[in-house]
Chains A and B, each alone.
Chain A
Amino acid sequence: MLSALASRLNLLKQLRQGNFGDAVFKILAYFFGLFLLFITLFIMYQLLFQGVPAIREFGIGFLWSTEFDPVQQQFGALQFIQGTLVTAFISMLLAAPIGIGIAAFLVEIAPERVNRIVGFLVEMLAAIPSVVYGLWGIFVLAPFLRTYVEPWLIPVVGWIPGFEGPFRGYSVFTASLVLTIMILPTVAAISRNVLQAVPRDQREAMLALGSTRWEMFSKAVMPYAKGGVIGALALALGRAAGETMAVTIIIGNARRVFTSVFDQGATIASVIAGNFTDASGGVYISSLFLLGFVLFILTLSINVVARLLIRATSTGPTNPTGGF
């Protein structure tokens, strides 16, 4: 089999021709490329393999069961899938326009020096450990929201389904806000790089046709950068869905389906983080692994959809790999 692979790669031919460097390079490149693939598949296999007892026990119904009762050994995923999707969605909804706006301001309007300095700061923000965001969220943001935002926010949105009920400091809403702040640097920093990579001649072409700066941005720069920006959003969404520490601290970890974002909830990541120390017994641990597998599939599908979106909407130079 090895020799079949070797002949496929033309290794022997290259070695015969004395092309030693190329042969070595090819072997190394293949090795590392396959290594990455192996790790991904191995993690996926492990999650699924460890999840087998739970699958045996609950079957596909695990996905839409809302039971989570360690005492009765009953486990389900629906409320956590809900928590993950809702927090990720709200934070995306807020972070996407703000982040792209920051990037647009830095690249198109701010003076070069401001662009450089603020751009650097934004990238720094992305490197702050998430536990720090969580700490800040619980001791600063949550009280602040309760004291100053709740009194006027509730009368305004309290009647909308999904925003009803009492306002809690530790809630899905607060967790989503912290997530927003966490993924904002990712959106802004990558979008900024992508916008900066739009060739000058594209901007000049539109300006020379008599466009305003806004028209230049919306009709020449954004279409060109679209693929990369969607890539930035996909990356941020993946991060939001998988974020563990900050969310665990702040979301309240209520293991039930929530009907209001001001209520407490839990995400897949937070329930795993909150329960692994107590987990005993095969089905309990196995269920956590299975939850992990669900999260893996969830983020994977988000990325795949983002890429398909890029491919479907781009006719131009847009890099189908999403610019990263």
Chain B
Amino acid sequence: MERNKTKEQTSKEKATPKKQESQTGQRQAEAPMEHTAQSMEVNGLNAYYGGFKAITDIGMKIAPNKVTALIGPSGCGKSTFIRTLNRMHEVARGGRVEGEVLLDGEDIYGKNVDPVQVRRKIGMVFQKPNPFPTMTIYDNVVAGLKLQKRHKKGELDDIVEGSLRQSALWDEVKNKLNDSGMSLSGGQQQRLCIARTLAVEPEVILLDEPASALDPMSTMKIEDAMLELKKRYTIVIVTHNMQQASRASDYTGFFFIEDMGEPGQLWEFAETEKIFTRPERKETEDYVTGRFG
């Protein structure tokens, strides 16, 4: 908890790289855009919807400042799993979790842990772009910040620009920040959602098939943004796109479901290169080579 506290105090400085040199001893040595994000570790995780067990006995180490891709056929629990990583799973009706998920060594399902605090540190981007339709582009980006404490207008302006730059959207929207978020195209909306997530300065970013509804150009832009983002954040991404996983990720987890109605399992987890070139299990090979799924 000690460390988290420091983090919150410093989040303001982190948000605006220019001012980073001031005050915080902890961050002083780092280059503006480099930042050691936190790692995650999952042990013996089961997740349920009511009586239905969706995933079983997942164990995984998520390395800091790397992109971890989760692949596998539909309905095998990838999305359920990624939602357990920031306690969004329990928002669904009957959503329930067993096992532990450690963020920097601390169980986010611990007794005294507030899910609200967890989600501030572990951001999430959803499958379907979901900007807030009643807000402007600007307000969408700062929506999360406004939940926390008061920021000065100039400070917010800096954060908005920084976040939109990181999500590769700035140039397209800088002249219409006061337009509705809904005026953007689907791909732009999704990058707006990424910017919104970045603005609150999380440690980990979860992306649940962020490009599944987007055209190839938008997908490319998001992938490019991801490569940039991992310098600062730990990234977990669910994807159906094999090329995307092999191009953009460092580690890959293959989820598999043996029979209909069985819970999904983490079938194989290794460096991306290994999963795609010499996987250990036959199902993994069949999947990555496109023989099913």
> Which residue among A207, A215, A314 has the maximum number of chain B CB atoms within 10 Å of its CB?
A207
Stretch at the interface among B31-39, B193-201, B278-286: B193-201
- Does B43 have its Cβ within 8 Å of any Cβ on chain A? no
Q: Are A317 and B133 neighbours in the complex by a CB distance under 8 Å?
A: yes
- Does A281 have its Cβ within 8 Å of any Cβ on chain B? no
User: Per a CB cutoff under 8 Å, which of A204, A210, A318 touches B134?
Assistant: A318
With both chains docked as a complex, state the minimum distance between the C-beta of A195 and any C-beta of chain B, in angstroms: 15
Q: Are B134 and A316 neighbours in the complex by a CB distance under 8 Å?
A: yes
- Does B219 have its Cβ within 8 Å of any Cβ on chain A? no
With both chains docked as a complex, state the minimum distance between the C-beta of A206 and any C-beta of chain B, in angstroms: 7
Q: Are B182 and A210 neighbours in the complex by a CB distance under 8 Å?
A: no
> Which residue among A199, A219, A317 has the maximum number of chain B CB atoms within 10 Å of its CB?
A219
- Contact A211:B147 (CB < 8 A) given known A316-B133, A318-B134: yes
Q: Are B147 and A201 neighbours in the complex by a CB distance under 8 Å?
A: no
Chain B residue numbers with a CB within 8 Å of A10 are none
| Cα-based distance from A207 to B117 in the complex (angstroms) | 11
- Does B212 have its Cβ within 8 Å of any Cβ on chain A? no
| Cα-based distance from A44 to B121 in the complex (angstroms) | 61
Chain A residue numbers with a CB within 8 Å of B193 are 205
Q: Are A205 and B126 neighbours in the complex by a CB distance under 8 Å?
A: yes
Chain B residue nearest to A226 in the complex (CB): B134
- Contact A211:B116 (CB < 8 A) given known A204-B126, A219-B143: yes
Q: Are A317 and B130 neighbours in the complex by a CB distance under 8 Å?
A: no
Chain B residue numbers with a CB within 8 Å of A208 are 86, 88, 119, 123-124, 126, 197
With both chains docked as a complex, state the minimum distance between the C-beta of A140 and any C-beta of chain B, in angstroms: 40
Q: Are A215 and B147 neighbours in the complex by a CB distance under 8 Å?
A: yes
| Cα-based distance from A215 to B146 in the complex (angstroms) | 10
Q: Are A201 and B126 neighbours in the complex by a CB distance under 8 Å?
A: yes
Chain A residue nearest to B199 in the complex (CB): A209
- Contact A209:B134 (CB < 8 A) given known A201-B128, A204-B91, A315-B180: no
- Does B93 have its Cβ within 8 Å of any Cβ on chain A? yes
With both chains docked as a complex, state the minimum distance between the C-beta of B132 and any C-beta of chain A, in angstroms: 6
Interface size on A, residues (CB 8 A): 25
- Does B232 have its Cβ within 8 Å of any Cβ on chain A? no
- Does A212 have its Cβ within 8 Å of any Cβ on chain B? yes
Chain B residue nearest to A111 in the complex (CB): B93
Chain B residue numbers with a CB within 8 Å of A219 are 143, 146-147
- Does B16 have its Cβ within 8 Å of any Cβ on chain A? no
Chain A residue numbers with a CB within 8 Å of B135 are 223, 315-316
Chain A 302-324, CB-CB to B under 8 Å as 1, else 0, gives: 00000000000011111000000
Q: Are A206 and B134 neighbours in the complex by a CB distance under 8 Å?
A: no
With both chains docked as a complex, state the minimum distance between the C-beta of B165 and any C-beta of chain A, in angstroms: 19
- Does A278 have its Cβ within 8 Å of any Cβ on chain B? no
- Does B75 have its Cβ within 8 Å of any Cβ on chain A? no
Chain B residue numbers with a CB within 8 Å of A203 are 91
- Does B14 have its Cβ within 8 Å of any Cβ on chain A? no
Q: Are B132 and A202 neighbours in the complex by a CB distance under 8 Å?
A: yes
Within 8 A of A (CB), among B102-131: 116-117, 119-121, 123-124, 126, 128, 130-131
| Cα-based distance from A210 to B4 in the complex (angstroms) | 15
Q: Are A209 and B197 neighbours in the complex by a CB distance under 8 Å?
A: yes
Chain B residue nearest to A209 in the complex (CB): B144
| Cα-based distance from A209 to B123 in the complex (angstroms) | 6
- Does B246 have its Cβ within 8 Å of any Cβ on chain A? no
Q: A210-B148, A219-B143, A223-B134 are in contact. List 16 more A-B contacts (CB 8 A).
A: A202-B132, A205-B130, A207-B119, A208-B88, A208-B126, A209-B147, A209-B197, A210-B117, A210-B119, A210-B121, A215-B147, A223-B135, A224-B132, A226-B134, A315-B135, A317-B182
A-B contact pairs, 19 of them (CB 8 A): A199-B130, A201-B126, A204-B88, A205-B196, A208-B86, A208-B88, A208-B197, A209-B143, A209-B197, A210-B117, A210-B147, A211-B147, A212-B116, A219-B147, A220-B132, A224-B134, A314-B134, A316-B135, A318-B134
Which 10 pairs across A and B sit closest by C-beta, in order of nearness? A210-B120, A209-B144, A316-B133, A316-B134, A201-B130, A208-B124, A223-B134, A210-B119, A317-B133, A205-B130
The residues of A with any CB-CB pair to B shorter than 8 Å are 112, 199, 201-212, 215, 219-220, 223-224, 226, 314-318
The residues of B with any CB-CB pair to A shorter than 8 Å are 86, 88, 91, 93, 116-117, 119-121, 123-124, 126, 128, 130-136, 143-144, 146-148, 180, 182, 193, 196-197, 200
